[in-house]
């Protein structure tokens, strides 16, 4: 039987600690990547699939954007985000009550349109028909929504 000295035991303990740290980091990275991956585990970030969402060609989807937070300018940024993807933002304003999360009410009975907008904002869609408004979809921006990074204007 071979005896292992204190120096060798210390070296083995350090090596075991390094291996454990590397394995923990790899597992954490793998979980983080799968949580932000798009459909079918393609490895592309979920935001890349959101940016592919656009209003259907030749269809006018009228959207109302309401800022339900204390963050100034959020509705303006959401308006730009929607218009860049072909949606017709016809009204921008401030909601009477504040929200933590974003909600997308369907106003005109076209759930497929509301689902498109809901995908852009990663928000749930709710049927709230309102024939008194000339709108198809409302976006109630919550405090948890973060506007995508914008390119700097030259």
Q: Give pLDDT tens digits for 85-129.
A: 999 999 999 999 999 999 999 999 999 999 999 999 999 999 998
Length of the chain: 154
Q: Give pLDDT tens digits for 24-72.
A: 655 554 444 444 444 444 444 444 445 588 998 999 999 999 999 999 9
CA distance 35 to 90: 34
Question: What region, left, alpha or beta, does residue 108 occupy, with left being phi > 0 and alpha being psi -120 to 50 degrees?
Answer: alpha
Domain boundaries, the chain: 6-48, 53-141
Sign of CA dihedral 143, 41, 83, 77: positive
CA distance 77 to 72: 10
Q: Which fold would CATH assign to domain 53-141?
A: Alpha-Beta Plaits (3.30.70)
Q: How confident is the model at residue 149 (pLDDT cuts 50, 70, 90)?
A: confident
What's the pLDDT at 48?
45
**What is the arithmetic mean of pLDDT over 72-83?**
94
Indicate the SS3 state at residue 60.
coil
| Residue 91, phi then psi, degrees to nearest 5 | -150, 135
What's the pLDDT at 148?
81
What's the pLDDT at 132?
82
């Amino acid at each position: 039987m071979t005896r292992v000295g204190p120096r060798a035991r210390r070296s083995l303990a350090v090596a075991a600690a390094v291996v454990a740290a590397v394995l923990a980091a790899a597992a954490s990275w793998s979980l983080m990547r799968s949580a932000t991956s798009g459909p079918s585990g393609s490895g592309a970030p979920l935001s890349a699939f959101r940016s592919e969402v656009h209003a259907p060609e030749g269809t006018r989807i009228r959207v109302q954007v309401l800022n339900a937070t204390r963050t100034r300018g959020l509705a303006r940024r959401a308006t730009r985000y929607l218009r860049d993807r072909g949606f017709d933002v016809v009204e921008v304003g401030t909601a009477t009550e504040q929200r933590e999360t974003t909600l997308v009410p369907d106003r005109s009975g076209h759930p497929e349109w509301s689902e498109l907008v809901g995908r852009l904002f990663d928000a749930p869609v709710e049927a709230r028909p309102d024939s008194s408004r000339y709108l198809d979809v409302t976006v109630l921006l919550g405090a948890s929504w973060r506007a995508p990074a914008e390119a700097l204007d030259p």
